Amino acid sequence: DAAAGAATATGVCATCHGAKGISAADTFPNLAGQKKSYLVGALKAYRDKTRNNPMMNGMAAPLNDQQIEDLAAYYASQKPCE
Amino acid sequence: DAAAGAATATGVCATCHGAKGISAADTFPNLAGQKKSYLVGALKAYRDKTRNNPMMNGMAAPLNDQQIEDLAAYYASQKPCE
């Protein structure tokens, strides 16, 4: 759930993607309001390395399925225009 | 430029991603307001198949660099909250 994802998001992901999902650099995607299923799929692909990005492979490696669901729910629930 | 990207976006990409970048299904990412450089990188990765997705590999295959820039500019310029 989104609240459970908030701690991981703000502690880890926020560095590049922003605490609210508006990212810090033009090459890092915004995550605010992104589709939850897309985010779950992306994190799982990074975790199992079917999608290659050294940074994100490292970030996703330790995440379990529940943490992935929570992170995806958190960023999907953020408002991209605030 | 975004105006040049609009025709391709509305004619091709809109089916899954929406004409304004709010996608039609939970598994297709929203593109509205996404970071331009991230979108360029993603399309090029799909085109050269360093990022695997059968649908997107097919979509990106015929695009040249200018069309990729134009599409990225178009969707990056869309407002995610309208």
Give first-to-last CA distance, chain A, whole Å.
21
User: Which residue matches tokens 């500019």?
Assistant: B73
Q: What is the pLDDT of residue A75?
A: 97
What's the half-sphere exposure (Cβ side, CA atoms, 13 Å) at B55? Answer: 7
- Residues of A whose CB is below 8 A from B35: 23, 25-30
* pLDDT tens per residue, range B54-73: 999 999 999 999 999 999 99
Is the predicted ipTM greater than 0.90, yes or no?
yes
CATH classification number, B2-76, choose in 3.30.70.360, 2.30.29.30, 1.10.760.10, 1.20.1740.10: 1.10.760.10
Q: How far lies B66's CA from each of A3, A26, B71, B74, in Å?
A: 41, 18, 9, 12
Model confidence at A37, in pLDDT bands (50, 70, 90)? very high
- Chains A and B form CB pairs within 8 A to the count of 55
Picking from A26, A28, A41, the nearest residue to B27 by CB comes out as A41
Given a cut of 70, is residue A47 above it in pLDDT?
Answer: yes
Does A2-23+30-76 carry CATH code 3.40.50.720?
A: no
Given a cut of 70, is residue B29 above it in pLDDT?
Answer: yes
A80 in contact with chain B, both atoms CB, cutoff 8 A: yes
